[in-house]
Structure 1
Amino acid sequence: MKRMDVLRPPLPSLPLEGGCHCGRARYRVRARPMAVNACHCGDCQRLAGAPFGVYLHVAKAGFEVTSGQLDLFRRTGGSGNQISIYRCRHCGTRLWHGPDVAPDLIILCAGTLDAAGWAIPTSHIFVEEAWPDAVAATDALVVEAFTTTRAALWDHFTAIYGPG
């Protein structure tokens, strides 16, 4: 994976808001994100329709759906654990997912934020599956497979942005 220097924008003020493509499903994030993570696994490539998915890790207690109807899809992740994926019932936009092994965590699709330009990944996982032209910021944590813990991703986010 190539590395490059980036000038990280500051974290935006809370709350963060976002929603689906058609605008019917909307959410609000009132808790500071714990990570901005890029996942390069084959599942995320397919689900995102892109070289990788970019996600915010957010405490479920700081997240609320403000409007819209959602569909829930269940699937087994590469880890073998069950994942609940939430999509807008009307346009099908994937908004977030939640792993059963971490019921207090929302893994929010960063591209669904109203203003996502600040969300430069502070960590990259499953980089052994990354496309040849993948790039990570020089200060980002880069992990093959998922040989670390979510807490390590959160600690690295805090190391970059400071304690919240």
Structure 2
Amino acid sequence: MLRTEISRPPLPAIPIEGGCHCGAVRYRITARPKAVNACHCDDCKRLSGATFGVYLHVPKDALAVTSGTFDVFRRTGGSGHTIPIERCRACGTRMWHLPEAAPDLVILCAGTLDDASWAVPTSHIFTEEAARDAVAANDALVIEAFNSTRQALWAHFDQIYST
């Protein structure tokens, strides 16, 4: 994976807002995210239609859905755990994952933020499956297989965005 020096943008003020492509689903994040993570696994490539997915790890009780209805797609992750994925019922935008292995966590798709310009990944996982031209910031945690823990991703995010 290529590395580059970046000027990392600051975290936005809370609340952070977002929604789906058609505007039917709207949400508000009421607490600081735990991580901004890029996943390069083949599943995330297919689900995003891109070479990787970018996600915010958000405490479930900090996600306030203000409008919209969802269809739920359930997939089995590499861990064997079921991962419900909620999509806007009107336009199909993938909004977030609700991992059953972590019931207090939402894995929110960064592309649904009203302003995603600040969401530069602080960690990259499954980089052994990354596209040849994939790039990570010099200060990002890069993990080949996800043989770490979410807490390690969160600790690195906190290190970058020390309070």
Structure 2: state its 5+ residue gaps.
none
CA separation in 1, counterparts of 2:114 and 2:12?
Answer: 12
2:126 is matched with: 126
Aligned residue type for 2:85: I
After TM superposition, the structure 1 = structure 2 runs for residues 21-100 of structure 1, keeping only pairs within 5 Å, are: 21-100=21-100
Q: Which amino acid aligns with 2:95?
A: L
How large is the Cα RMSD of the aligned pairs? 0.5
Give the C-alpha shift of residue 80 in structure 1. 1.1
1:89 CA drift (Å): 0.1
* Deviations, residues 106-159 of structure 1 (Å, cap 9, x unaligned): 000000000000000000000000000000000000001101000000000000
Q: Percent identity?
A: 69
Partner Cα separation in structure 2 for residue 78 and residue 94 of structure 1? 19
Residue type at the aligned position of 2:46: R
Per-residue Cα deviation, 1:30-60 (whole angstroms, up to 9, x for no partner) = 0100000000000000000000000000000
Q: Secondary structure at the match of 2:54?
A: strand
Mapped to 2, the partners of 1:72 and 1:17 lie a distance apart of 21
Partner of 1:5: 5
Checking the alignment, whether the CA contact within 8 Å between 1:43 and 1:78 is kept in structure 2 is no
Write the distance in 2 (CA, Å) between the matches of 1:126 and 1:59: 23
Q: How many angstroms apart in 2 are the aligned matches of 1:145 and 1:124?
A: 10
Q: C-alpha offsets along residues 56-112 of structure 1, whole Å, 9 cap, x if unaligned?
A: 000001111100111111110122110010000010000000110100000000000
Alpha-carbon separation, structure 2, partners of 1:91 and 1:9: 30
- Residues 108-123 of structure 1: matches in 2 within 5 Å? 108-123=108-123
Range with bigger deviation, 69-78 or 10-19: 69-78
Secondary structure in 1 aligned to 2:74? Answer: strand
Match of 2:107 in 1: 107
Identify the residue that residue 16 of structure 1 maps to in structure 2: 16
Aligned partner letter, 2:118:
W
Aligned partner letter, 2:121: P
| Separation of aligned partners in 1, 2:129 and 2:72 | 27
- The whole-number CA distance in structure 2 between the counterparts of 1:27 and 1:83 is 20
Q: Give the Cα separation in 2 of the matches to 1:6 and 1:110.
A: 19
Unpaired runs of 5+ in structure 1?
Answer: none
Q: Give the whole-Å Cα distance in 2 for the aligned partners of 1:14 and 1:75.
A: 31
